[in-house]
Structure 1
Amino acid sequence: MVHRFILNETSFFGPGARKELPGAIRGLGKSKVLVVTDKGLLQFGVTKMVTDVLDEAGIAYDIFSEVKPNPTVSNVKAGIDAFKRAQADILVAIGGGSSIDTAKAIGIVIANPDFSDIISLEGCAPTQNKSVPIIALPTTAGTAAETTINYVIIDEEKQKKMVCVDPNDIPAVAIIDAELMYSLPKGLTAATGMDALTHAIEGYITKGAWELSDMFEIEAIRMISRYLPMSVSDPKNPEGRNGMAVAQYVAGMAFSNVGLGLVHGMAHPLGALFDIPHGVANAVLLPTIMEFNMPYCITKYRHIAEAMGIDTSSMNDNEAAQAACDAVKQLSQMVGIPATLTELGITDENIPALTRQALDDVCTPGNPRPVTYDEVANIYRSLL
């Protein structure tokens, strides 16, 4: 079998790494920036931490700050219009997955105008040209959108999340600066951190996993187990923040290339239909779906348990696998994630619509265990 691995051309890591931005822009031969961000980051001065660097370097920019927490088709179209009005030639995305995903869709359509309806980008669209260059500066430690070939946009008409997978969309440069994450609230730190753990675990057990991706994912699990509680309990702890910033990137490097599974397949409808934060949805689903998948992943679950600090030497395979599921559940509870879907407003009458979308989701086929409609519905129901 031939395996493909796509990564950024260049990445910078470490507190203060945003200062590399001007050199990265000039190195790409560009001069006019459209900054893609959201109003919250503008309000709390996080965007300014980056635009100050542009100001000091004398680089011209306009700001598009209309990014929604779950970006939509119309949101992307507004960003495309903003890029054209600005006469920009490069995108700088500042934010979590929403800002970076919006920038990816903008950049792809500018370079591939045949896809200007946006909805034709769903799945593996046959785009011909690389995106307008994107430099991504994440402000959350979760999505790893800065290093993936995936992005997610909501089709408002169908009320569904479109998962788009396109090697042409990967940011040219990723700048991982933990200082941009210090103001992230505890709840969002926990949710995005559990999103990163879900990426690592699903990327480790997905059907497409192999030796290179396994190496990254098991290290990401180890790092997240260590640094997430530290980041939640002490948000300004440099060790915790930088550790999580790197860990989520490591997880993203791998899952972007091998795929995910049922947790994401079932989480996407929760976001599309009920606007539940993606990391929270993943965290609620993850332990239960791990137990569902356990018979197909026994050996790998032992490795997950060990990466999370559990001594499995006296356990049989089933005990070690259950210990991995329990460790994930305990970590989720420790950082304050809700335990049930009922707490998120989901009722039994919502399950049919959620189940239909989950079965159609592009991530679900990567699950190590095949699933039926009734099994997916029962998983949702068990978490009410």
Structure 2
Amino acid sequence: MPSSPPTTTWSRWSGTTGPARTLRSGQCATRFIHSAKPFEGDARREHLVADFLENHAYRIPGAERVESGVGRVDALRKSVTRLGASRVLVASSKSVVEKTPNVDRVQGALAGCAVEVFGGCRQHSPESDIEAMIVAIARHGADAVVSIGGSSIFDTVKIATSRHADRTGAEPIPQIAIPTTLSAGEFTYGAGYTEEETQSKKLALDPRVAPRIVVLDPEVTIDTPAELWLSSGIKALDHALEAVWAIRPHPYVEPLALEAIRLLFENLPSSRDPANLESRAACQFAAWMSISGAGASGMRLSHFLGHQIGARLHIPHGITSCILLPSVMRHLRDKTLAAQGRIAVAMGLSRANLAPEKLADAAADRLETFIADLGLPHSIDAAGGTPEDIDAITVASFAAATQLGLADDLPEGPESIRRILLGGG
């Protein structure tokens, strides 16, 4: 194969000298060091060249505009004006409304154009919440929704605006999303919801209802509970890892996913201090990068199983990733060995003449330790599940996996799922 030019990458470092640019958003500055060093030398370049020659399709998955920086939420009225809206429904959850100043701050920034605060969005987006929001939109003639919180809130809004449009024959009303976690649902047009009668998680896809504007302001994350913030960071890692070891990897997506892994391993631990806005902003950008695979790469086992156990056991999205991700990594090792080597390097591990299998094992151990050091639950029983729950989830999940074309990753059928859920890989 002819030699290829060096790959240019962007990596964030602390206290490193060299050619640099400072990227500023509002009052928040993050320093990136430009390096001509490729991700992993010649082998990495050959991998990318091979990917470039494949047939690919990529759909831009999310917002048409991302506004970022400390204090950016205070400019919300300009964002609403940009959408041509004047009657805004504010959507959030009971905890965000009652335990943080964020909704009051949003209402103040909207300067009188908020018609109602819909504070009833619950975890995993039950259908009854969706229907209640549709009623609120119609009652006020709302022409935009500003949502603030995590992915369950954004999912509720996306499905509500989609169904409202279908029922009225109008275009969906536009959304502005302000995330307080790192789950990154604000960057996609997909939404999960819970069918309450069966307690099963369903997926809705409607390209019309991705939030038009996303506002990344680290200040609004200050009051996010520590476990929620950190576990949603593991959810972002989940997105990134699944993009790298995807069944249909994409050469545009992978560099972003690898950079997301680097940024999260470097910044998520220090972001435990709510006052460390630089680390929190870096994590927000990492979450944005991590979700780029939604436009091309699709999901694999961790994301899929996370939705299954989350809806059935009422476990938050981020905690499902803490439970599943190391085990899924071990389970997929032999099928995704080269990808796991690149992931290991992004985590900060050295190849050091390790065999590919040993490097992948070291990466899974590194991930498991990383999660544990953050003080997060990393087993179903630690999150409140029981052996009986595992039995029910195993059977239902394998049937769903077969429908989604994921059965090839489960060579022993339901028993493969059982081992993953029990942490055996």
TM-score with structure 1 setting the length? 0.90
Distance 2:313 2:102 in 1: 28
Question: 1 or 2, which has the higher helix percentage?
Answer: 1
- Of structures 1 and 2, the one scoring higher in RCO (CA 8 A, sep 6+) is 1
* Secondary structure of 1:92 counterpart: strand
Instruction: Report if aligned partners of 1:262, 1:367 keep a CA contact under 8 Å in 2.
Output: no
Equivalent in 371, 377, 387 of residue 332 of structure 1: 371
The one-letter amino acid of 1:63's match is V
- Give the CA RMSD over aligned residues: 2.1
Separation in 2, partners of 1:162, 1:238: 35
Cα offset for 1:356?
2.9
Alignment equivalent of 1:80, drawn from 134, 139, 151: 134
The C-alpha deviation readout for 1:67-124, integer Å capped at 9, x for no partner, is 112220011000100111111111111110111111101111111128xxxxxxxxxx
Tell me which moved more, 247-256 or 188-197: 247-256
- Distance in 2 (alpha carbons) for counterparts of 1:367 and 1:374: 12
The residue number in structure 1 matching 2:69 is 14
Residues 266 and 129 of structure 1: CA distance in aligned 2, closer, same or farther (over 3 Å): farther
1:220 matched to 2:260? The reply is yes
Residue number in structure 2 paired with 1:123: none
Match of 2:388 among 349, 360, 366: 349
Identity over aligned pairs, percent? 28
In structure 2, the residue corresponding to 1:344 is in which secondary structure?
coil
Whichever of the two has the greater Rg, that structure is 2
Instruction: Measure how far apart 1:349 and its partner are.
Output: 2.0
Gap runs ≥5 in structure 2: 1-54
Which residue, 190, 201, 205 being the options, matches 1:161? 201
The separation in 1 between residues aligned to 2:170 and 2:63, in whole angstroms, is: 16
SS in 2 for 1:258: coil
1:190 to 230, 246, 260: 230
**1:35 match: secondary structure:** strand
The aligned counterpart of 2:311 is 272
1:29–1:339 distance in 2 versus 1, CA, 3 Å: closer
Code of the residue aligned with 1:66 in structure 2: it is G
Residue matched to 1:54: 110
Which of 176, 186, 204 is the aligned partner of 2:216? 176
Q: Is the 8 A contact 2:261 2:347 kept in 1?
A: yes
Change (3 A) 1:383 1:190: farther
Equivalent residue, structure 1, for 2:348: 309
Offset, 1:134: 0.8
CA contact (8 A) 2:243 2:249 kept: yes
Q: Which of 371, 375, 383 is the matching residue for 2:416?
A: 375
User: Shift in Å at residue 378 of structure 1?
Assistant: 2.5
The SS at the match of 2:422 is: helix
**How many residues are aligned here?**
367
- Report the more deviating stretch, 360-369 or 236-245: 360-369
> Does the CA contact (< 8 Å) of 2:93 and 2:119 recur in 1?
yes
Q: TM-score, normalised by structure 2?
A: 0.82
CA shift, 1:374, in A, is 1.9
Partner of 1:104: 158
1:132 corresponds in structure 2 to 173
Post-superposition offset of 1:19 = 3.0
